[in-house]
Amino acid sequence: MSSYIGTAHVFGDNVDTDRIIAGKYTKTLDLSDLAKHVMEDIDPDFWEKVEEGDILVAGNNFGTGSSREQAPLAIQAAGVAAVVANSFARIFFRNAINVGLPAVVVGEHEIKMGQQIEVDIQKGSVKNVTTGQSYQVTAMPDVMVRILESGGLVNYLRENNEYVQPAETKS
């Protein structure tokens, strides 16, 4: 799916990966457990408020900090369909794309908490459905769009016969 409409959950600038998912929760591979703790240091009730298909909206430098993939995975596991920000930390941005979480760069925006937002990856657009205002989007390379449409990098590689099964290790 390349178009998403959901409720905006707005956060500020410089939200680091430890604020997205605290390190103490990253010792599990259970994504539903990660989802219960996403954004809790900033908004302890986020898990209870977020609904499947909602859009996380931020300011500058979203996802700064560590390179752990649990940050975009936790956001995705919570039901967030896409993240829209003025800018992203490079590693977070690539991790998000690689796990199939759309990360869309917009110019300055006036999106407020609770407004309905439409993100269209194919068209490269973000629209505030509540106000009718559209926002300038930084175009994403075609290969990144295809990775997102495939549901992440591993699926993309499999679909394009480029995935190499890791060699089995001997115990």
> How far apart are alpha carbons 87 and 84 in whole angstroms?
9
Fold of 3-159: Aconitase; domain 4 (3.20.19)
pLDDT(170) > 70 = no
Residue 135 one-letter amino acid: Y
Instruction: For 101-140, write each residue's pLDDT tens digit.
Output: 999 999 889 999 999 999 998 888 999 999 999 998 988 8
> Band of the pLDDT at 1, cuts 50, 70, 90?
low
Query: Are the CB atoms for 54 and 7 separated by under 8 Å?
Result: yes
Residues 6 or more apart from 16 whose CB is under 8 A from it?
63, 64, 65, 66
Q: Parse the chain into domains and list their residue ranges.
A: 3-159
Segment 12-43, tens digit of pLDDT: 999 999 999 988 888 877 888 889 999 999 99
CA-wise closest residue to 76 among 54, 46, 105, 48: 54
